[in-house]
Structure 1
Amino acid sequence: MQMKRAKSLYIPISYKLLISYLLLVLTPIIAIGSYAYLSSVRSTEQHTRSNLEVAVKQMASNVDFRLKDMVRSTDELYADQTLARYLAGYHSGWERYSIMSQYILPRLKNAANLPDPEVELSVYVSNPDVGEFYYNDRAAEDVRKYSLFHMDRIEDEAWYRRLDLHYGSSAWRQTGNDKADGSISYLRPLINYDTLQLNGLIKMTANMKYIFSDAVSGQLGEDSILFIVDNADRLLFTSSPNGVIPEPLASAASGYIKQPGSYMQIKQPVSNMPASVVAWIPYASLQKNSQQVRNVTIGICLVTLVLLFLISLAMSQYFSRSFQKLVSSLKSFQEGDFHKRMPVRGNDEFAEIGSAFNEMASTIQRLIDEVYVVSLEKKETELQVLHSQMNPHFLYNTFSSISRMAKLGEIDKLHEVIRSLARFYRLTLHRGEMIIPVEQELQIAESYLDIQRIKNADRIHVAYAVAPEVLESESVKFILQPFVENALEHAWYDDEIFLVIRAYMEEGDVVFEVEDNGLGMKEELIGQILKPAGQGIGYGIRNVDQRIKLQYGRPYGVAIHSSLGEGTLIRLRFPYRPYHSVSEES
């Protein structure tokens, strides 16, 4: 069986025009919008990074400024040769007291006054002849803190033994309780300039909160982290507004710093200390600016897209109206309205198409007017001839049966046959119409079977299966009875024969079926019967098939399904149309 070709999807020309315009609009908007977005994001990120680098550099500069005060204070003591000789020499009595009170302590006080009050100055000397001096721990906070100690106080300290100080060297270390107090010390040797030997130690201690007061987390933005590391990337100091160590630094508080993948790092070395100011800024905070740029870009693209969409819609509607007029006129032609004309406006290709279409329509209408009446008359004549070829054959056979019954004296049967014959012809000849209701066509077949059943002593058994909804449909007259007659004449081979007559709806069509349990037919015979130029067989079947096709078109007609020894099924198909008599139409 040949497969039906799939019906392609119908897309109106207005949609096609609109889609093409939208593609032409979307392509540059998406390309330009994407390029603008990516360029803006890249520029924003670079600008943000530059601003953050400047801010971190300024923080490192502020730290250097405080450290420079501490270095300058130690320079005052380190470079004072007179102080070095006094601290290395031997003095006694009044001279010792005078040097201590008039030179050494004032010099220490002056050095302690240079940096912030938070700084503590401690000088350790190897000369045991120099007296010690230290401040009271409970002194007021604004009192400068400076002390003078003997070296034996620190000689056994582990941090001191690890020192390797010499002329011109310096070091930053956390000594004694510095780590616990959050402090750090700047260490320089005290030199005896006469012998250039190490004579003591200068120790300037400051709280790291004071030194790194500018490196407070959150100053560079929400969730940013600022901290200080030494040259080996060990954490020295961190602070946060709420005093809690940020989570990324919590695991590195006692070890090395490792940059998380979700943070951008900016690192700025400190000049006066082997340390660096490090800033971690989450990429998510940088993306907030990118999101604003993205939203603005998308907003502009959407506004532009809406405007261009409206323009495209107007253009597609303008061009599609002419196509719709043409399609509407063609549909009217398809439905049989040949008086429809296409309005012609403007001076373009559509106007030329409209003029050509209207001229074609006028020509077709004229030809239809000329041919229509002739064609109808010819078709009606053909139907009448086909019908007249079928009725005489049945009438001849029936009259032969009536004659035989009269000779045999079967009066009752004769009476019933004549009554059924009268009913049969009353139905077939009523008003001379060629189109009758399905119900009447079924009555004609039933009358014919009544006659045959009487003639054959009830050896014919018939079953009817009729759907009520088909009874009001129209039908070509005299298409069912010939197949009932064929079944009785050609399929009957036993004492009895069983027939089934069906009428039902299928996919909007009316279907008649005549099924028998007779001899059946070969496929070759079925093919010969249905050929338009048959070889002398199946003339009545072809007549019915032609009558149906002449009335309803080539898709309709007769189909035969049969096998030898299994009976035959005849199927007649025609469209459902409510029946209207000629008088009603008039």
Structure 2
Amino acid sequence: MLRRMSSSYIPLGFKLLISYLLLVLTPIISIGTYAYVSSVHSIEEHTRSNLEVAVRQIGNNVDYRLKDITRSSDGIYADQTLSRYLTGYHSGWEKYSIMSQYILPRLESAASLPNQEVKLSLYVDNPNVSEFYYNDGENVSGGRQYSLFHSSRIQAKSWYKSLSLHYGSNEWKQVDTDETTRSISYLRPLINYDTLQLNGLIKMTANMKFIFSDVDSGQLGEDSILFIVDSQDRLLFSSSRNKTDPGLISESNLGYIKKPDSYMQIKQPITNMPASIVAWVPYSSLKKNSEQVRNVTIWICVSSLVVLFLISLLMSHYFSRRFLKLIASLKSFKEGNFHKRMPIQGNDEFAEIGSAFNDMASTIQRLIDEVYISNLEKKETELQVLHSQMNPHFLYNTFSSISRMAKLGEIDKLHEVIRSLARFYRLTLHRGDIIIPIEQEIQIVESYLDIQRIKNANRINVTYEIHPDVLMCETVKFILQPFVENSLEHAWYDDEISITIRAYPAGGYVWFEVEDNGLGMKEEIIDLVLDPTDKGIGYGIRNVDQRIKLQYGREFGVLIQSSLGEGTLIRIWFPRIKST
């Protein structure tokens, strides 16, 4: 007879192949991924390092030009003789001599920078000093551009008023016409060293294309962007070689910049100016080299997978063929062919399995007779003992009630009780069965409650909620009566008591419930009732629980839910099996 394969059946050879592939795929994918990520990260770090070095070099060149400008201003700023001449009063030939022989040569010397795009302007507060400057249309090509003005020319201008000048201060700022001429000025005070008061302003204006010539001509790669921002990230200067949309480096009309998500940013502060060189390099250019690494890594991983897949296929086929022989022998053994033996080949674990299987087949028939049958007899005996312990317990209580009625002369009640007791024992002792239909178990409880109602003058209210689908299912006999008796003996504290008995199916199980409105129990009492050790109380309840577990398994039995003053709910559950 062919075995019916379930829809989820997976051959062992396929499982072995999958397991081998997983063992192969895991390290290859892990190592390949790690190698790829590490290589890409290394390339990106190396590229970024090179770019940072290039940006740093550009910054050093810018700082070098700025130092030339600041050194030129230092000569004027620290010249105390020049300060005295510019603050003193002179007239006639002395004034002309000081002007021509010291002041103008000093300014010319300070303006002697390699690049003539730097203009020196000196503003003095002393009106006695003569002004010296070039006319706008005057050709000064080949000469140094320096001027001497009275401070009154700029004192009313807003940019001058906004300056915070004091001894030792300096500032880079776009003032006057600097923004339109794409220039920037280095500003510092002119000091009267006799009084240490401000005597004017030193202003050195440089064309930003000259200062940032390395930024203007430099390019870090295809589609890279180079520009200068001030301390507030406002755009000062942008390279003419930037090929991207100018709006890319401007977020608003005020010139504040915002890096796009697709660009990497490198920012290098400029030492001698409150500004920074900013480089934006597209991530796409960084990944070009990583694509080659990715392709090589994928090619190596795929080649390794193909080779290891073929090896896995051969290994799984070899082992699955030997397992199939073992399965064939086990199948014959399952069908009752205990004379079937497994052929033993080789000298490995499969040979040991075959030898052990053959030894098992030789002894299994004898073990079935000695163990299986004896266990069935032991189980039947235990059930009989537990059941026999229940009947004397109930009989003792009933005879005690009959004795009380006889003493009180209640002959009619005594007659009814004896008749109900006879019916009760006719049902419980019928054929001596331990497993009975649920319908018969309900009849036993009804007979018991008839006895109790006679004894208690109908002060017991009973409600039956029995689902007809469970009446012909089997149950262990005499499991409901002990709980009903327990409610009457221990839970009844008022004039009347109400008891509800339920039986209903739920999935593949049958549930019994005995619920009363009596006194209820504390949590610790419930634990003691169900305690299987000698410390437990409530012998009858534990007896029922043990009988159910012995018949159907440890997972079934009795559940108790109770609260003081609110009553008790007993729940019993066991498999739903049709009675035979």
Give secondary structure in 1 for the equivalent of 2:293. Answer: helix
Task: Kindly indicate whether residue 33 of structure 2 is the aligned counterpart of residue 44 of structure 1.
Answer: no
| Contact 1:233–1:256 (Cα < 8 Å) also in 2 | yes
Distance, in Å, in 2 between the alignment partners of 1:319 and 1:153 is 101
Name 1:150's counterpart in structure 2.
150
Report SS of the residue matched to 2:180. helix
SS in 2 for 1:251: coil
Structure 1: 5+ residue stretches without partners: 327-343, 353-586
Tell me which residue corresponds to 2:477.
Answer: none
Q: How does 1:337-348 map to 2 (within 5 A)?
A: none
**Is the 2:224–2:242 contact (alpha carbons within 8 Å) kept by the matching residues of 1?**
no
SS at match of 1:184: strand
C-alpha distance in structure 1 between counterparts of 2:204 and 2:238, whole Å: 21
Alpha carbons 2:121, 2:149 under 8 Å: kept: yes
Note the 1:341-356 alignment, pairs <5 A: none
Say if 1:229 and 1:275, in contact at 8 Å, map to a contact too: yes
Corresponding residue for residue 541 of structure 1: none
**Structure 2 partner of 1:293:** 293
Distance 1:218 1:211 in 2: 13
Distance in 2 separating the partners of 1:102 and 1:273: 34
CA contact (8 A) 2:223 2:243 kept: no
Alignment match, 1:238: 238
Question: Offset at 1:153?
Answer: 1.8
> CA offsets per residue over residues 136-180 of structure 1, 9 Å max, x none?
555365432111122222122211121221221111111111001
Query: What residue in structure 2 maps to residue 169 of structure 1?
Result: 169
Aligned to 1:229: 229
Match of 2:85 in 1: 86
Distance between the aligned counterparts of 2:98 and 2:268, measured in 1? 45
Partner of 1:56: 55
Structure 1 residues 242, 281: CA separation in 2 closer, same or farther (over 3 Å shift)?
A: closer
2:226 is the counterpart of 1:249: no
Query: Does structure 1 retain, via aligned residues, the 8 Å contact 2:44–2:286?
Result: yes
Q: Could you tell me whether the CA contact under 8 Å between 1:218 and 1:224 is conserved in 2?
A: no
- Return the offset for 1:186: 0.4
Note if 1:201 corresponds to 2:201: yes
Instruction: Kindly provide the CA deviation profile for residues 329-365 of structure 1, in whole angstroms up to 9, marking residues without a partner as x.
Output: xxxxxxxxxxxxxxx9x9678999xxxxxxxxxxxxx
- Give the C-alpha shift of residue 14 in structure 1: 6.9
Question: Which residue of structure 1 aligns with residue 219 of structure 2?
Answer: 219
Q: Which string of whole-angstrom CA distances, capped at 9 and with x for unpartnered residues, describes residues 17-40 of structure 1?
A: 554433332121011112222333
Q: Which residue of 2 aligns with 1:111?
A: 110
Identify if the C-alpha distance between structure 1 residues 29 and 351 changes in structure 2 by more than 3 Å, giving closer, same or farther.
Answer: closer
Question: Which residue type is aligned with residue 94 of structure 2?
Answer: E
Shift of 1:60: 2.0
Amino acid of the structure 2 residue aligned with 1:266: I
Give 1:121 deviation, angstroms: 0.8
Other-structure match for 2:507: none
Is the 2:229–2:278 Cα contact (8 Å) retained in structure 1?
Answer: yes
In structure 2, give the amino acid aligned to 1:23.
L
1:516-535 pair list within 5 angstroms = none
Local SS of the residue matching 1:241: coil
CA contact (8 A) 2:219 2:241 kept: no
Q: How does 1:179-578 map to 2 (within 5 A)?
A: 179-216=179-216, 219-241=219-241, 246-252=246-252, 254-313=254-313
Q: SS where residue 180 of structure 1 aligns?
A: coil
Give the structure 2 partner of residue 77 of structure 1.
76
User: Secondary structure of the equivalent of 2:214?
Assistant: coil
How far apart are 1:279 and its partner, in Å? 2.3
Letter in 1 for 2:51: L
**Counterparts of 2:141 and 2:226 in 1: how far apart (Å)?**
28
Deviation at 1:244? 6.2
Contact 1:66 1:115 in 2 (8 A): no
Specify the alignment match of 2:124 in structure 1. Answer: 125
In structure 2, relative to structure 1, the CA distance for the partners of 1:217 and 1:309 (3 Å cut) is farther
Residues 228, 237 of structure 1: 8 Å contact kept: yes
Judged with a 3 Å threshold, the aligned counterparts in structure 2 of structure 1 residues 218 and 283 are, in CA distance, closer, same or farther, namely farther
Q: Distance in 2 between matches of 1:267 and 1:138?
A: 41
Alignment RMSD: 3.7
- Which residue in the other structure is 1:24 paired with? 23
CA distance 1:9–1:244, shift in 2 (3 Å): closer
CA distance in 1, matches of 2:301, 2:58: 41
Counterpart of 1:277 in structure 2: which amino acid? I
Q: 1:64 and 1:9 mapped to 2: Cα distance?
A: 75
Deviates more, 1:305-314 or 1:110-119: 305-314
In structure 2, the partner of 1:135 is 134
Structure 1 residues 243 and 284, CA gap change in structure 2 (3 angstroms): closer
Structure 2 counterpart of 1:426: none
Distance 1:297 1:125, change over 3 A: same
SS in 2 for 1:23: helix
Q: Is the 8 A contact 2:52 2:266 kept in 1?
A: yes
SS in 2 for 1:61: helix
1:289-308 CA deviation, whole Å, 9 max, x = no partner? 44333223222212322333
1:11 to partner: Cα distance: 7.8
- In 2, the alpha carbon distance for the partners of 1:107 and 1:212 equals 27
Given that residues 218 and 225 in structure 1 are in contact (C-alpha distance below 8 angstroms), is that contact kept between their aligned partners in structure 2? no
State the shift of 1:71 in Å: 0.5
Secondary structure at 1:219 match in 2: coil
Amino acid at match of 2:215: A
Per-residue CA distance 1:179-209 (angstroms, 9 max, x = gap): 0111100011111222222222111001112
User: Which is further off, 89-98 or 70-79?
Assistant: 89-98
- Alpha carbons of 1:269 and 1:103: their partners in 2 closer, same or farther (altered >3 Å)? same
Q: Structure 2: how far apart are the matches of 1:78 and 1:127?
A: 16
Q: Match of 1:229, SS?
A: strand
One-letter amino acid of the counterpart of residue 221, structure 1? G
List runs of 5+ in structure 2 lacking aligned partners. Answer: 326-342, 352-580
Distance 1:293 1:218 in 2: 29
Distance in 1 between the 2:272 and 2:349 partners? 86
Shift of 1:97: 2.2
Identity level (%): 67
2:226–2:242 contact (8 Å) kept in structure 1: no
Aligned in 2, Cα 1:85/1:318: closer, same or farther, shift over 3 Å?
same
Q: Would the alpha carbon gap of residues 81 and 273 (structure 1) be closer, same or farther in structure 2, given more than 3 Å must change?
A: same
Q: CA deviation at 1:263?
A: 2.9
Q: Deviations over 1:429-487 (max 9, x none)?
A: xxxxxxxxxxxxxxxxxxxxxxxxxxxxxxxxxxxxxxxxxxxxxxxxxxxxxxxxxxx
Larger radius of gyration: 1
CA distance in 1, matches of 2:203, 2:158: 16
- Which whole-Å deviations, capped at 9, do the CAs of 1:84-118 have from their partners, x for residues lacking one? 12222222233222222221111111111135322
SS at match of 2:259: coil
What is the identity, as a one-letter code, of the residue corresponding to 1:213? S
Distance 1:64 1:349 in 2: 79
Counterpart code for 1:44: I
CA gap of 1:77–1:234, structure 2 versus 1, over 3 A, is: same
> AA paired with 1:294?
R
2:64 is aligned with 1:65: yes
CA distance in 1, matches of 2:132, 2:47: 53
